Amino acid sequence: MTGGVADADRDADGEPAVEPPHRATRALAERLGTKAETYPGDHGGFGPAAEAFATRLDEVFSTS
């Protein structure tokens, strides 16, 4: 994927993701000169939010 790095936008409770993995992803994207891409759901978004996750994944891959 050349369009960015994967990132979880919200945690399982819908709160903004501010945990170390989120911050590390943002820092990595910045150092690579790209943006962090966000996806619906939690760390396993393909489970409870499978359709929305797949739609977003397709959008990102289609523009990469």
Ordered by start, the domain boundaries in the chain are 4-63
Per-residue pLDDT tens digits for 7-26:
556 655 566 667 788 788 88
Per-residue pLDDT tens digits for 43-63:
666 778 888 888 988 999 998
The answer to whether the pTM exceeds 0.85 is no
Q: Please state, in angstroms and rounded to a whole number, the distance separating the CA atoms of residues 64 and 1.
A: 6
List the structure tokens of 4. Answer: 């960015």
Give the DSSP letter of residue 16: B
pLDDT band of residue 30 (cuts 50, 70, 90) is: very high
Q: What is the pLDDT of residue 41?
A: 77
Q: Tokens 């936008």 correspond to what residue?
A: 9
Q: Is the pLDDT of residue 33 over 90?
A: yes
